[in-house]
A and B are shown apart, each in its own frame.
Chain A
Amino acid sequence: MVIAIGFEGSANKLGIGIIEDDKILSNCRRTYISPPGEGFMPKETALHHRQNILAVLKQALDESGIKPEEIDVVCYTKGPGMGAPLACVAVVARTVAQIWNKPLLGVNHCIGHIEMGRFITGADNPIVLYVSGGNTQIIAYSRKKYRIFGETIDIAVGNCLDRFARVLKLSNAPSPGFNIEQMAKKGTKYLPLPYCVKGMDVSFSGILTYMEERSKKLIKEGFTPEDLCYSLQETVFAMLVETTERALAHVGSKEVLIVGGVGCNLRLQEMMRIMCKERGAKIFATDERFCIDNGLMIARAGLEMFKSGSRMKWEDCGITQRFRTDDVDVIWRKD
């Protein structure tokens, strides 16, 4: 029996979760929400995390019903992510580990998403589509690494959607992507947009610029904001489904797992489901509690690492803004 606590704060979500082997004990989260038309900046986001982290920690401990001495390992997000928010969460994790005299483990944020997705859905060896505000990767496991088959060559798909939400001055609560999704449901008129798949890689910055430059004019010409949300979603999701399908065919896998914040978009799940059905594959996805950044995913990945003997020296417990998914040795998988 191993109990792990996980601290996450690589972007605007601050989360702390506690897990006991396969049993979720708590998963608490607070989100820094910037005003409409604005994104979240490192300084303000770090301030939010500093002001809220102890309340979230107390809540996570209370809900879990366990005592600190029962915890076996303290896990935190080492990277990738925004420097200032990562750093302040790591400061608390390091303090907590010392107060409780428990080992500390730095976890790769992307690995957190993948292991959380596998844990919640039971997917065994899936092609992983990791889509969020900061990352867009198509990943498959091979020989102790999660290998990146394709990824964005510029901005993440979630970043593209979030920034288009800013153009329309949509609210950032609960998240800009959620509001785009709701608007898109009411869209009827499809606007053809640039489609940027380059081999296994995708590109979204050109599409965003196209939308930013033309939105005003298009709305005057009779497109509604709903139509634009709909067209943007259909285009970028089609790109993701295409590259995922190619990875699926190449690897010969029969499972697709969608993780990351954009992964709770039901339209993306629906499009992926259609593709999977045609190929006789199965789709796995989770809801916002587990696919949007959370502390539990860091606890889960840390738990797997800890159980398989992974330990960290104190001088390595810093943070790093860049940390590739395929830098991590996946020692806990036996296949």
Chain B
Amino acid sequence: MDNNESEDVLTLSVEIPFPNSRIAEVVLNTLIVDSEPKRGGTIKTLKVIDNKLIGYFVGTNISSVRVSVNSFFENIHLISETIQLLGEPVSEKYSHFENA
């Protein structure tokens, strides 16, 4: 499976619950900006349903999917720690999305 010749499509769906939907949104907004490395060919789709972040990974190269999923978890860990340090978001909504 760990070569580029395989045409089998590998999919992985991950569901991560957060204390509330606002935090799930913060995590989504933080993660959604970074694109996956082009060479790996893995496609990552993220969305929030209620307090859950849902990550959907599709790829043909198992090692590149693994890299994507690993970095997904590492980032979520880092974001969670950041929220633990600083506390909950101060506002109901982020007001600077369309600043430019």
Contact = CB atoms under 8 A, between A and B. Distances in A.
Given A94-B33, A95-B26, A101-B89, A313 B98 contact: yes
Contact of B90 (A69, A87, A315, A319): A69
Contacts of A58: 85
Given A92-B78, A318-B35, A99 B98 contact: no
A264 B80 CA distance: 37
B30 interface: yes
Given A102-B96, A315-B33, A96 B75 contact: no
12 contacts: A54-B85, A91-B79, A95-B30, A95-B82, A99-B83, A99-B86, A99-B89, A100-B90, A101-B95, A103-B99, A311-B99, A313-B97
Contact of A94 (B29, B90, B100): B29
B85 A103 contact: no
A244 B88 CA distance: 50
Contact of B91 (A50, A96, A101, A104): A101
Interface of A: 50, 53-54, 57-58, 68-69, 87-88, 90-92, 94-104, 311-319
Interface of B: 26-27, 29-31, 33-35, 74-75, 78-79, 81-83, 85-91, 94-100
Contact of A99 (B88, B95, B97, B99): B88
B26 A98 contact: yes
The 9 closest A-B pairs by CB, nearest first: A311-B99, A101-B91, A103-B96, A313-B100, A94-B30, A314-B97, A95-B82, A98-B26, A318-B33
A275 B91 CA distance: 56
Nearest to A103: B96
B22 to A, nearest CB: 9
Given A91-B31, A101-B91, A314-B99, 13 more contacts: A54-B82, A57-B85, A58-B85, A68-B86, A88-B78, A92-B78, A94-B29, A97-B96, A98-B29, A99-B26, A99-B82, A100-B86, A314-B96
Contacts of B35: 318
A226 to B, nearest CB: 43
Contacts of A68: 86
Contacts of A54: 81-82, 85
A118 B26 CA distance: 36
A142 to B, nearest CB: 25
A95 B100 contact: no
* Among A97, A99, A315, A317, residue most surrounded by chain B Cβ atoms (within 10 Å): A99
A316 B87 contact: no
A142 B26 CA distance: 40
Given A100-B90, A318-B34, A313 B29 contact: no
A244 B86 CA distance: 46
B90 to A, nearest CB: 5
A315 B34 CA distance: 9
B86 A96 contact: yes
Nearest to B94: A98
B33 A314 contact: yes
* Among B26, B96, B97, residue most surrounded by chain A Cβ atoms (within 10 Å): B96
A87 B94 contact: no
A94 B90 CA distance: 14
B82 A96 contact: yes
Contacts of B78: 50, 53, 88, 91-92, 95
A314 B78 CA distance: 20
B75 A101 contact: no
Contacts of A104: 96
* Among B74, B78, B87, residue most surrounded by chain A Cβ atoms (within 10 Å): B78
Contacts of A97: 94, 96
Contacts of B95: 101
A246 B21 CA distance: 59
A312 B99 contact: yes
B74 to A, nearest CB: 7
